[in-house]
Amino acid sequence: MPILIVGIDIISEEPKRFAVVSWFNGKIIKHGEFTFYRLLRFIRAKKPDIVAMDNIHELGEYLRKFIRAIPQGTKIVQVTGRPGEQKPLWSLAKEHGIRVGDKFNPYEEAKVCALLAAKGVGYEVLPFEDEVIIKVSRGRSQGKGGWSQDRYRRRVHNLIQNKVREIEETLKRADIPFDLEIKEKDQGLERGEFRVYTSREELAGLIKPMKGGDVEIRIRPVERKTFEFVPLKSESAIRERKSIIVGLDPGITVGIAALDLNGEILALYSERNMAVSDIVRFISEVGHPIIVATDVNPAPGLVEKISRSFKAMLFVPRESLKVEEKNELLKNLGISVEDDHQRDALAAAYKAYLRLKPKLDHVEAKLREMGITKKGEEIKALVIQGYNLGEAILKVKEKEKSKEIKTAEVTETSVDVTPYIEKIKELENTINLLEKENQELRAVIEEQRKIIEGLENRLAAYDERIREKIIREKEMEIREKRIEYLEKELREARLIIEKLSKDLVLTKRMHLLELKGTAVPLKVIENLTWKEIEELERSAGIKKEDVLYVVNPSGAGKSIAEHLAEKRIKALISAKTLPNLVYETLKENKIPVLYEDEIEVKRVDDFAIVDRKELEGAIEEKLKRWEEEEKEREVQEFLRLVEEYRLERIKELKKKAEEEH
């Protein structure tokens, strides 16, 4: 697929100016002289696959700004190699058959950089860790206080909480490990910060940044302390490393412990603010982890990330280890640690080793019986990874055989080729001899290809077995999760049945009281609205002498009270205070209004009763009290009228007396 490569070189330092040349589909295009910010705009617009240069540090103070500003997916390549191992640009051009014009022309250097990158020459600069920080926080200033401002603040904190939960679910569905820190406020969240253990390229499309609203989402890749350089094309040899069990305690201070397969401590270390790459590098220098262990359940996201990085098995204890248990494990090892982080990491690794020890002892005993001791550690590692003992022994033997074949090939090649290389330096007529040697080597390569194909077929068969085993394990895991889900549903159903049983017993007792005539049934209305009144009239009807029980009367008005008065109900019992208009309307129509503190109501869902004698007594008392209040009101009214008449008569007498004088 055609790719776009932009080659750049420095023309001048003050002001900073660049020569820019692009390579696309075999064609070179000279774009001219660019300032730094114009170069950034050009790269953002074109979104090249590669930006190539001979030395990235020529950017000087602009380097970090340049790296942060280029589009996601654009690689920065230093064609001359990693720092400390760099080759001259013109030597590389000659080595790869690139014609060079004026060596002092910046455009010529930019062109050579682009052509070398197109041939896969150079090292990609990795400025970021495989970690991304996602911060969810308030998007706007809340301003000054006040009741409405407090309500707005609570709303924003709820929005932040919902967005944090949404991101958390997205990462879990994508099976991306992460750690989350939150700050709670107003029954919501003031902010949430995710540390996601993946590259920003893998995160692209899953979570998008947000600005300008009530909630702001900022996504920032974690920058490396020092840049890493990775070859574009070449493969580096993998050196054999010791198989180890690693215990990891993540946090601000990271604790790392490493044991060999005999339980011996190889490394014990802790450091503040270790990046993922630093952790991986430290572990790699000790050995190759086949188990990565933690002391807590569930495993933190960082531990899962490190486990996946090494394709190692993850060990998680059934329950988080207690401090007493950790101290007991360290006591058995007979070692002291510098801090709690080293203790936790070592306890996790040793706990994993103790879990594997019976299997390791069994393998070692079998190997002694078979007289195989040379590659015992490698065989143990394969058994831990899931191979049976026979498969592990066979795999190690095949690996040794393959090494012997490769060693023989290298030896033969070095013996045959060296004289010709020496003769090439002395005489030009040795070309024919080298061509013959080339044919012989091609024959050796063909023979090796056949051997490799045979080994690949055997590996494919082993891979198929492993794949079937993994499928079986996944099916078992799915069944176990299904069983857990059904057990949870069963527990919830039992709780519902238990509640319904209790309600049924209470309902039967209430019904029995009603049949005996000692209780009066109530017609229950949840909300005193026209809609629920109409539903009650359709289902059971509202008749004269009915007693209504209202749970929430807040939505009622005068018209509803008048309607109930027309129905001539016997009484109305309310769980809460009636609106004043409703109360006064019912009072005028001599319909008693009772509250739960005046009479005891026994209720199960839509069925409720009250004691008949208690109801009659409460109604009588309420009507009597209303009657007394009415009489008192009439007396007060009469006295008011008398007083008004007296005052008026006094005024008239005074007026008459004044007229007579």
CATH code of the domain in which 82 resides: 3.30.420
Q: Which of 190, 225, 260 is the endpoint of a domain?
A: 225
Distance CA 444, CA 436 (A): 13
Residue 632 domain-assigned (yes or no): yes
- Per-residue model confidence (pLDDT) at position 570: 87
Strands 519-527 and 547-552: parallel
Each residue's pLDDT tens digit, 341-359 = 999 999 999 999 888 888 8
Residue 658 domain-assigned (yes or no): no
- Per-residue model confidence (pLDDT) at position 417: 39
- Per-residue model confidence (pLDDT) at position 415: 40
- 515, pLDDT greater than 70: no
* More confident of the two residues 401 and 208: 208
Each residue's pLDDT tens digit, 273-292 = 787 777 887 888 888 898 99
Indicate the angle between helix axes 276-286 and 301-309, nearest 10 degrees.
Answer: 50
Q: Which residues pair with 51 in a beta bridge?
A: 6, 76
Residue type, 250: P
Q: Which residues pair with 179 in a beta bridge?
A: 195
* More confident of the two residues 440 and 358: 358
Residue 137 domain-assigned (yes or no): yes
pLDDT class of 416 with cuts at 50, 70, 90: very low
Distance CA 104, CA 531 (A): 90
Distance CA 177, CA 294 (A): 15
- Per-residue model confidence (pLDDT) at position 373: 65
Q: Which of 168, 194, 225 is the endpoint of a domain?
A: 225
Residues 153, 194 within the same domain:
yes
Say if residues 281 and 275 touch (Cβ distance below 8 Å): no
- 634, pLDDT greater than 70: yes
Buried residues in 147-178 as b, exposed as e (16+ CB within 10 A): eeeeeebeebbebbbebbeebeeebeeeebbb
- Per-residue model confidence (pLDDT) at position 111: 92
Distance CA 319, CA 481 (A): 18
Residue 394 domain-assigned (yes or no): no
- The pLDDT of 546-560, averaged and rounded, is 88
Distance CA 610, CA 312 (A): 70
CATH number at residue 138: 3.30.70
Residue 236 domain-assigned (yes or no): no
- Per-residue model confidence (pLDDT) at position 78: 94
- 37, pLDDT greater than 70: yes
Question: What are 356's two structure tokens?
Answer: 């594997």
- Per-residue model confidence (pLDDT) at position 407: 44
pLDDT class of 411 with cuts at 50, 70, 90: very low
Residues 441, 563 within the same domain:
no
- The pLDDT of 540-547, averaged and rounded, is 84
- Single out the residue of 171, 217, 180, 225 nearest to residue 198, CA to CA: 171
Question: What are 432's two structure tokens?
Answer: 């024919």
Angle CA 345–347–349, to nearest 5: 70
Residues 10, 110 within the same domain:
yes
Distance CA 4, CA 557 (A): 75
Find the range with the poorest average confidence among 145-154, 185-194, 244-253, 562-571.
145-154
- 143, pLDDT greater than 60: no
Residue 626 domain-assigned (yes or no): yes
Residues 622, 567 within the same domain:
yes
Q: Provide the mean pLDDT of the chain.
A: 82
Question: What are 376's two structure tokens?
Answer: 């015992």
Each residue's pLDDT tens digit, 320-333 = 989 888 888 888 88
Residues 525, 623 within the same domain:
yes
- The pLDDT of 85-94, averaged and rounded, is 88
**401 CB neighbour count, 10 Å cutoff:** 12
- Per-residue model confidence (pLDDT) at position 76: 92
What DSSP letter does each residue of 292-349 carry, written as one string?
EE-SSSSPPHHHHHHHHHTTPEEE--SSPPPHHHHHHHHHHHT---SSHHHHHHHHHH
**16 CB neighbour count, 10 Å cutoff:** 18
Residues 114, 167 within the same domain:
no
Say if residues 259 and 245 touch (Cβ distance below 8 Å): yes
pLDDT class of 2 with cuts at 50, 70, 90: low
- Per-residue model confidence (pLDDT) at position 401: 64
Residues 43, 100 within the same domain:
yes
Residues 369, 409 within the same domain:
no
Residues 472, 522 within the same domain:
no
- The pLDDT of 125-154, averaged and rounded, is 76
Residues 200, 252 within the same domain:
no
For the chain, what percent of residues have pLDDT higher than 70?
A: 88
State which residues form the domain around 521. 517-641
Residues 115, 16 within the same domain:
yes
**3-state SS assignment for residue 548:** strand
- Per-residue model confidence (pLDDT) at position 132: 87
- The pLDDT of 631-647, averaged and rounded, is 86
Find the range with the poorest average confidence among 175-189, 221-235, 450-464, 488-502.
221-235
Residue 15 domain-assigned (yes or no): yes
Our count of domains for the chain comes to 5
CA dihedral 115, 119, 122, 125 (to 10 degrees): 90
CATH number at residue 560: 3.40.1390
Residues 67, 135 within the same domain:
no
Range of 215-219, 355-359, 506-510, 610-614 with top mean pLDDT: 215-219
Residue 499 domain-assigned (yes or no): no
- Per-residue model confidence (pLDDT) at position 435: 64
Terminal CA-to-CA distance of the chain, rounded, Å? 126
- The pLDDT of 411-421, averaged and rounded, is 41
- Single out the residue of 41, 43, 45, 7 nearest to residue 24, CA to CA: 7
* More confident of the two residues 453 and 234: 453
